[in-house]
A and B are shown apart, each in its own frame.
Chain A
């Protein structure tokens, strides 16, 4: 399972951004680009666009080379006061590298121009898969034990799996609103020992959930490793619930060895005594690792349940008809508490931002001006 998951993620990574990022372009075109850069350095701007046109038409540049080409053309058009063409070139640059940001070494007019554009993805879809541990928060203990002081009751978290996907709406470069649909298997157990002095019982409950979390996310938007954190709430739909129960009747007469009579194990659907619609909080964080234009993400999440999942009306009965008492009571001496389900998960995912290079409606250049004033002061 783990190997398959890893293979899928590696395949996705390889089949998306990585080949484009590292591919080498045509050698002739690379020579042409170097020649064009020399022409630019020499102040001969007019002939540069025609010089590069053939290679661009034939798409013979690598992605990295395209960035250089369009940066060069942008500067040429700015210097020749052909602003529409400069805009177009810069937009193509962003298509080649959506995360391109001019550096301090780039001309100030390019920096100003860059502020007219954004390539921030509006939506960022992702999918992920991983493992989880689920535990119970007991609201009221409901059990058959009449001697709580001498009977031991343990609740244990058990591992399950989570798989699903989602999409984030990027409101700003750092803040986003995310939503996911996750299929989660959640498991936990309750073990009772020293019942009637010696007997013990264990119930393992397995639940299948459709979790729909919605959260607000803050993330760093630069660098190859981008930490993030988020918080929100989730709608949790409980699809199935079943229990596997085991009761051991232990007897010992005199010095004879203990005799154990197990009640045959039984797996039963108990969805009728669970609530379908539930709520939880969502807290999480992790890091995105840049691979080409995409990311591999490691996500750690805690979803404390808000809803009591037990329907007390049916808790002691064998069905919703409430005609017979639950076999759990008379066969396994167990009942089931009123509880909330908490879930801790660790998942590995793949994020593909849907970059959308475009002009912004409101240009913000204050930061550039501030930086220039600051730099001037530093120079003095």
Chain B
């Protein structure tokens, strides 16, 4: 009798053991999610909180309302927790979202006033739990001119907003400073202009990111075509504006390129954690003769004491990486320090006539760490948003994919990739 019972039990155990199920297969951590609704939705930036919840900033477009801001919170698995649409029936261009130290979200966007047609920028503060707006959105910029904005960064007592405005044929750069309640510092306390005097005439100053590194010390990472910055030819170069708030001291550190005829435009800056050697990594593009390549710079933490000699503040020589980047698209590179080592870079490349996202990793010497960039895209023009890492070292990227055929609908895409940038192991 015992034998008769033993046989089915043994068979059942073998079957149970050999059946692929949730017991013996780990849940895949990778995901690829589309986020959106009717019309087109695009994304430009994302942040991740300590619990690996993801916040995405983008825009949604419809015939009736034009472009409006689109903010989404997803779970760590990429499933929407809440999604919000902000803005007037007009043009809103999302730029940057940050997670403040108190857990609130702050975001900055350009906005065209539907009554006056004037373009300013607007700052929203959101409750990260439910996406509701805290207080009233703050409008910034100069009256009567077109204002652009790049980023918002948390400072010791509020926020720093990198902006630039049209000044005839040139663009003036500014870093506006706000307190925690989004009240702007007056100019006599915080001179917002990134002020370098170029006797030779007009020039552009485009501030990309401002950070507070000490009680009275601020770095503004910019690019400009000013000759006063040390370059004899009016081409664009990266530079770092080091300033003190109270004593008025300042220093401009220019990063000249190897090719004096090439233009270098900055798009992204990230602080390098102390564990990875501290400092800052700057990512952008260098372009000359119709070619456009990825351009990476790594600078030291203590820029205040650096001389104007680049060797005193560059950690490694500037790195140009051949990626066949598109010369036509308003490409952007998002850079993020990897917890393991090196840096993740997300950008766009032009492959076979259409735009695709690429993801690559560079090591601490800014040399390519992977054998080739991961190309992420389809037949349409797919645009990079931002890259970051989760607390367990997986890579998160957001962007915009064209779904369906070449001129199909645009949707926000959120991808969770392995530390080597792949779906699957």
Contacting pair A263 B408 (CB below 8 A) = yes
- Within 8 Å of chain A (Cβ to Cβ): is B48? no
Residue of A nearest to B22 (CB): A139
Contacting pair B15 A306 (CB below 8 A) = yes
Which of B's residues lie within 8 Å of A, judged by CB?
Answer: 15, 18-22, 25, 27-28, 30-39, 63-64, 74, 78-80, 375-380, 382, 401-405, 408-409, 411, 414, 422-425
Choose, from A205-213, A245-253, A367-375, the stretch at the interface: A245-253
- Within 8 Å of chain B (Cβ to Cβ): is A265? no
Residue of B nearest to A313 (CB): B424
CB distance from A275 to the nearest CB of B (A): 10
Question: In whole angstroms, how far apart are the Cα atoms of A357 and B401 in the complex?
Answer: 73
Residues of chain A with a CB closer than 8 A to B39's CB: 251
Give the interface centre of B25, B39, B378, B423 by most chain A CB atoms within 10 Å.
B423
Residue of A nearest to B401 (CB): A330
Contacting pair A196 B37 (CB below 8 A) = yes
Contacting pair A327 B378 (CB below 8 A) = yes
Residues of chain A with a CB closer than 8 A to B38's CB: 196-198, 251-252
Give the interface centre of B79, B379, B403 by most chain A CB atoms within 10 Å.
B403
- Within 8 Å of chain B (Cβ to Cβ): is A314? yes
Residues of chain B with a CB closer than 8 A to A140's CB: 22, 25, 27-28
Q: What are the 4 closest A-B residue pairs judged by CB atoms, nearest first?
A: A330-B378, A316-B423, A313-B424, A308-B20
Question: In whole angstroms, how far apart are the Cα atoms of A40 and B64 in the complex?
Answer: 107
CB distance from B275 to the nearest CB of A (A): 31
Contacting pair B379 A331 (CB below 8 A) = yes
Contacting pair B411 A196 (CB below 8 A) = yes
CB distance from A140 to the nearest CB of B (A): 6
Given known pairs A147-B80, A330-B378, A331-B404, the reply for A322 and B15 (CB within 8 Å) is no
Which of A's residues lie within 8 Å of B, judged by CB?
Answer: 139-140, 142, 144-148, 195-198, 247, 249, 251-253, 261, 263-264, 279, 281, 306-308, 312-317, 322-325, 327, 329-331, 333, 335, 338, 340
Contacting pair A312 B404 (CB below 8 A) = no
CB distance from B407 to the nearest CB of A (A): 10
Contacting pair A322 B422 (CB below 8 A) = yes
Residue of B nearest to A273 (CB): B424
Residue of A nearest to B403 (CB): A333
CB distance from B27 to the nearest CB of A (A): 6
Contacting pair B79 A148 (CB below 8 A) = yes
Partner pick for B32 among A313, A329, A340, CB 8 A cutoff: A329
Contacting pair B414 A146 (CB below 8 A) = yes
Residue of B nearest to A339 (CB): B20
Partner pick for B423 among A263, A307, A315, A330, CB 8 A cutoff: A315
Give the interface centre of B30, B64, B405, B414 by most chain A CB atoms within 10 Å.
B405
Partner pick for A325 among B64, B378, B403, B409, CB 8 A cutoff: B378
Question: In whole angstroms, how far apart are the Cα atoms of A331 and B409 in the complex?
Answer: 10
Partner pick for A330 among B36, B37, B402, CB 8 A cutoff: B402
Question: In whole angstroms, how far apart are the Cα atoms of A116 and B419 in the complex?
Answer: 74
Partner pick for A146 among B28, B79, B408, B425, CB 8 A cutoff: B79
